[in-house]
Amino acid sequence: MKDILDLVERFSSQDQANVGGLFDPAASGNSDHAGAISAIHELISNEEKQQDLADYRKFYNFEVDILDEHGNKKTTLSQRIQTGSGGEHQIPFYLAIAAALSTTYRLHETMDGDIVGGFSLAMFDEAFNKIDMAKTSTCMGFMKDIGLQVIAAAPDDKRAVMAANMDTIISVWREGGAVSLDVAYPKEKGRKLLTEQMDEIEAMV
C-alpha cells in the first residue's frame, strides 16, 4: 500500500492538476503514480477485496505503549506479546477493556471524590485465568478505582484473590442433578489479610 499512501500524501500537499486523479490523463502508464492508480482500480473492481476494505476493524491499527511510573516508554504491547508470559499478554487487554468501559459509561469523579456514572458493569468469564494473584489484584483494584462494578466467573484456584477484591463471593457446585450455592461476604479485615499474604497463598495453590 506504500504507493497508494505516497499518492494520497502528494495529492494532499499539491493540487489535483499536478498529481492527477483516477480518471485523468495523468493516470496513464507514464504517470509517477501509475502503480498506485492501477492498484486502486484493482481494489475497487475486485468484490472480495471490496469486502475486505469495508471491514471497519481494519480501518485503524492501534499500538499500546507501556510506560514506567515516571512516564518513560519501556516497550509496546506488540513487543511484549512476542516475549512475555501468558499473563503479561492478558493484562494490557484487561486494562484497555476497563478504560473503554469507563469511557462508555461516562464515569467521572465528583468534587467530593465520588465516582458517578451509572451501573457500570464489567463482566468476565474465566477471569484472569493466566495472571498471577498479585497482578490480578492490581487489575481489579484499577477497575474498582475507576468506578467499575466487576462480575467475574473464575475457577476455585482464584477464590483467594477474588475474596481479597470482591464484596460478594458466590460458590456454585453440582452433584449429579443438584446444584448448590453458597454466598460469602468478605469483610474489609479479611480482604486486607488476604492481600498481605498473597505471595504465600499463591505458593500453596
Cell 456514572 belongs to which residue?
117
* pLDDT the model gives residue 66: 79
* pLDDT the model gives residue 183: 95
Q: What predicted TM-score, i.e. pTM, was given to this entire model? A: 0.58
pLDDT band at 11 (very low <50, low <70, confident <90, very high): low
The structural domains of the chain, with segments of one domain joined by +, span 65-203
* pLDDT the model gives residue 153: 93
Higher pLDDT, 33 or 158: 158
pLDDT tens-digit series, residues 72-128: 888 887 777 777 666 667 888 888 899 889 888 887 778 887 777 778 899 999 888
pLDDT tens-digit series, residues 165-201: 999 999 998 898 899 999 999 998 888 888 877 766 6
pLDDT band at 26 (very low <50, low <70, confident <90, very high): very low
Distances from the Cα of 65 to the Cα of 6, 58, 77, 123, angstroms: 27, 20, 6, 25
What CATH class does 65-203 carry?
A: alpha beta
Mean pLDDT of 55-69: 78
Q: What are phi and psi of 161, to 5 degrees?
A: -70, -35
Tell me: pLDDT of 56 over 90.
no
Higher pLDDT, 44 or 137: 137
Torsion sign over Cα 79, 80, 83, 86: negative
pLDDT tens-digit series, residues 132-174: 888 888 899 999 988 899 999 998 888 888 999 999 999 998 8
Distance (Å, whole) CA 126 – CA 175? 21
